[in-house]
Amino acid sequence: MNDSKHQPQVVSARQQMDNAIAELWQSCREQGRDLYCRAGCGNCCTLAVNCSYPEAMMLAASLTVKQRQQINDRLPLLAQLCTTAGDLKEFLHSYRHQGDGCPLLDPHQHCSSYNQRPLSCRALLSTRPPPWCGVDFSTLHPHEKQAFLSSLDQNFVAYPSHYLAQPLELAAALEKSLDEEFANEYGVNISGNLIWLLGLELTSQVGKRLAQREQGLVEWLLEQQERYPYLLQVTKRDHFEH
């Protein structure tokens, strides 16, 4: 896997993210605001997490044999959930309730690749106790949902969620920068579901093949996107020359 070219950018983005989050934790403590994220929760790890391809390449290169097998074992289920969903909303609901959580969680609900986790994972900071991170809001009574929404500080959270807004905004900006650098190098932007991207890199070595300028690879990726639209997003850069 050819992750070395983009590794410095990913490491730098992670460091910026971690520094900003450390400052946010300190600021929240000083303001008397509570953040509830703790090791062993794992509720947000049932969400469909997206990331950039450079992040996925770097994480894939760090996985153990056991972790690689866990990723590969999950791919058929994700493919089934994607191809049977009528729309994105249905896919996200099915993913959370039938996707079995992130395969990188250990039996104690700790992330087994914590230091290598993507920006989108790092960015989730909950302003509500852990049970709220596992709630399916589509099942709440309208009065319960309204009471929850009314309790949110829209200047503080990424409304209508209860997750802190600032780290999510920073993660999106850093991911965009990584995507642009990747597209400048290879003429294509690849993003999507974290587990699916890991599987793509483990089984198809897309990073290495892009670096080798393999003919037809981008077209194959576009076909994969058409087949699995909720798992993979591919954008080909027009008039690319390198």
Report the phi/psi class of residue 164: left, alpha or beta, with left for phi > 0 and alpha for psi in -120 to 50.
beta
pLDDT tens per residue, range 163-213: 999 999 999 999 999 999 999 999 999 999 999 999 999 999 999 999 999
What pLDDT is attached to residue 1?
47
Report the phi/psi class of residue 192: left, alpha or beta, with left for phi > 0 and alpha for psi in -120 to 50.
left
pLDDT tens per residue, range 32-91: 999 999 888 999 999 999 999 999 999 999 999 999 999 999 999 999 999 999 999 999
Nearest in space to 199 (alpha carbons), one of 230, 236, 232 = 232
Which pair of structure tokens corresponds to residue 37?
A: 């994220």
User: What burial class does residue 48 get, using C-beta atoms within 10 Å of its C-beta: 0-12 exposed, 13-18 middle, 19+ buried?
Assistant: buried
